[in-house]
Amino acid sequence: MVCSKCKEDKDVLEFYKNNRTKTGYAYTCKVCLREYQKIVNKKSITPKINKERYIKCMYGITMDDYNKLRQEQDYKCAICKTHEDKLPRVLSIDHCHISGKVRGLLCDHCNHGLGKFKDNTLLLLEAIEYLNK
């Protein structure tokens, strides 16, 4: 496969799986994607055009959609309600890994927490029951 960023022909194992593409793999190789994410994950959203393209490609929403979600959530994480000014990075876009539908914006802690539980509500309920002991 040819990476859309570095234009190098690489083995398929050099690409992340992505069920939203025709090939079943991301168009950008792992190395280029990691470099790109270093830029995107910084608190300042620069370069703007790359951030917009990344959000559109990954989640199917525009930067305007993202900012509208921020405003609707009062610039806070949808779960813990921490304001984005108190966070080291911008709010993450949370989405269903099966349908791809965007659910809202979360801080890294809440987003990773859901990920660790594989978005499984039964596991989360078991965790709640455990914590209530």
- In the prediction, which pLDDT does 43 show? 47
pLDDT digits (tens, 9 = 90+) for 105-114: 999 999 999 9
In the chain, the largest separation of any two C-alpha atoms, in whole Å, equals 55
Task: Identify the weakest region by mean pLDDT among 4-18, 27-41, 54-68, 92-106.
Answer: 27-41
Task: Identify the weakest region by mean pLDDT among 12-21, 73-82, 104-113.
Answer: 12-21
Q: Are 25 and 17 a contacting pair, CB within 8 Å?
A: yes
Residue 105 tokens, joined: 């914006």
Domain segments of the chain as ranges:
61-131
Look at the domain 61-131 and name its fold.
His-Me finger endonuclease fold (3.40.1800)
E-assigned strand segments in 1-133: 15-17, 25-29, 92-95, 102-106
Q: Is it the case that residue 62 has pLDDT exceeding 70?
A: yes
Burial of 78 from C-beta contacts in 10 A (0-12 / 13-18 / 19+):
middle
Which carries the bigger pLDDT value, residue 81 or residue 37? 81
Asked whether the whole model's pTM tops 0.85, one would answer no
For the beta carbon of residue 106, count every other beta carbon within 10 angstroms: 23
Residue 86 tokens, joined: 């108190």
